[in-house]
């Protein structure tokens, strides 16, 4: 959110409601123990370190599945973070709009009070309505005043101005209520963002810690197991004959989206990122379609919920494939059974087989 928008948001809060933010510092305490140094008489000869047992492929497969689960949970939390961020941005914009309404309403109220005073003074002096009062009540003052004597002119003017002032006061009260409600939602979404952020970091840290326990050769074998599992899934998908049915051609916008997405190949995944140097899965797809001139939802779950669903045999390059039963991952279809996507933390934007993951369905942004 820009500095000007942020200032207007705070101005709205100052006009509408008073907010108190309470925070309590969290202090972490680490227990400390002082190791005792044994006396020379109690020292013993060092015991040789036991020879580590090689990690089997079965154990590495368990690690692979565990990592898959951790990164999946991180992806779900990333969607929650992105959704909360999107809502918070929208609510901030709404608060800024309400700030303008409040300021304009107060200015209108002040003007009405001045006009009522002018009309009252004119009646007291027995004169006609001041020109500014006439212009306020009617674009054609003669129509308003026609057929009315001077006393009735003043009475009508005062009555009309008071009614307008009452409506303006009611509007200001409603603006205040709306701003307060939006501020509460904004704070709730900020808390949701922080909660999701903590979960993301926790899941990624757990995955990295698990990988850090492996030796270099074990990491290589783990990577091979991941590749083998992906290829097995892709082969099963292709063996179904699905490509015999998929022959759609990209739309002009779809071609632009595909070009943007493939131009990002080699850039690192980063949760919550929308480019230009890093992306998460839905950050890549939403920005690719933005480059094609179309705004689509920010998260994979909202892309699945809001965009038009397409039968898989009808998909064409540029369409988005949604993965997992909870719609926690998204990729862009390139054609010939391939996708481009931002896979997960510690991976780069890359091309993969469309069938390497569990497909939930396909959506088309430019339907």
pLDDT in tens, 258-294: 999 999 999 999 999 999 999 999 999 999 999 999 9
Q: Are 294 and 254 in contact (CB under 8 A)?
A: no
Reported as a single tens digit per residue, the pLDDT across 1-11 is 443 444 434 44
Q: Which of 17, 72, 309, 341 is catalytic?
A: 341
Residue spans of alpha helices (H) in 126-263: 131-137, 141-145, 150-212, 216-239, 252-263
- The answer to whether 17 is a known catalytic residue is no
Q: Is residue 357 pLDDT above 50, yes or no?
A: yes
Mean pLDDT value of segment 39-52: 44
Long-range contacts: 307-312, Cβ < 8 Å, 24+?
307/363, 307/364, 307/365, 307/367, 308/363, 308/364, 308/367, 309/361, 309/362, 309/363, 310/361, 310/362, 310/363, 310/364, 310/367, 311/362, 312/242, 312/246, 312/359, 312/361, 312/362
- The answer to whether 309 is a known catalytic residue is no
Reported as a single tens digit per residue, the pLDDT across 56-73 is 878 888 888 888 888 888
Reported as a single tens digit per residue, the pLDDT across 142-200 is 555 554 444 455 555 566 667 767 777 777 777 777 777 777 777 787 787 788 888 88
Q: Which of 17, 72, 100, 281 is catalytic?
A: 281
pTM for the full predicted model: 0.62
């Amino acid at each position: 959110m820009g500095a000007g928008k942020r200032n207007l948001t705070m101005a709205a809060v100052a006009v509408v409601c008073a907010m108190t933010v309470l925070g309590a510092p969290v202090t972490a305490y680490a227990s400390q123990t002082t190791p005792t140094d044994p006396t020379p008489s109690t020292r013993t000869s060092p015991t040789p370190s036991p020879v580590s047992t090689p990690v089997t492929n079965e154990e590495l497969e368990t690690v692979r599945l565990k990592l898959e689960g951790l990164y999946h949970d991180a992806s779900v939390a990333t969607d929650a973070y992105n959704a909360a961020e999107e809502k918070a941005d929208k609510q901030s914009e709404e608060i800024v709009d309400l700030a303008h309404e409040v300021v304009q309403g107060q200015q209108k109220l002040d003007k009405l009070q001045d006009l009522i005073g002018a009309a009252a003074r004119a009646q007291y002096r027995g004169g006609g309505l001041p020109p500014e009062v006439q212009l306020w009540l009617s674009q054609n003052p003669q129509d308003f005043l026609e057929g009315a004597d001077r006393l009735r002119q003043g009475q009508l003017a005062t009555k009309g101005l008071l009614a307008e002032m009452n409506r303006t006061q009611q509007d200001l009260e409603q603006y205040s209520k709306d701003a307060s409600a939006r501020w509460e939602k904004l704070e709730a979404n900020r808390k949701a963002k922080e909660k999701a952020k903590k979960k993301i970091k926790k899941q990624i840290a757990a995955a990295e810690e698990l990988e850090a326990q492996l030796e270099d050769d074990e990491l290589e074998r783990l990577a091979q197991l991941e590749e083998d599992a992906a290829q097995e899934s892709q082969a099963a998908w292709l063996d179904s004959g699905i490509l015999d049915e998929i022959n759609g051609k990209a739309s002009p916008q779809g071609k632009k989206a595909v070009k943007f997405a493939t131009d990002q190949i080699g850039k690192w995944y980063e949760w919550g990122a929308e480019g230009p140097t890093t992306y998460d899965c839905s950050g890549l797809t939403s920005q690719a379609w933005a480059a094609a001139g179309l705004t689509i939802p920010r998260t994979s779950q909202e892309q699945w919920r809001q965009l038009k669903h397409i039968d898989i045999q009808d998909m064409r390059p540029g369409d988005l494939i949604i993965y997992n039963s909870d719609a926690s991952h998204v990729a862009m279809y390139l054609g010939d059974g391939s996708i481009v996507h931002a896979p997960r933390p510690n991976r780069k934007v890359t091309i993969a087989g469309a069938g390497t993951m569990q497909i939930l369905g396909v959506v088309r942004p430019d339907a």
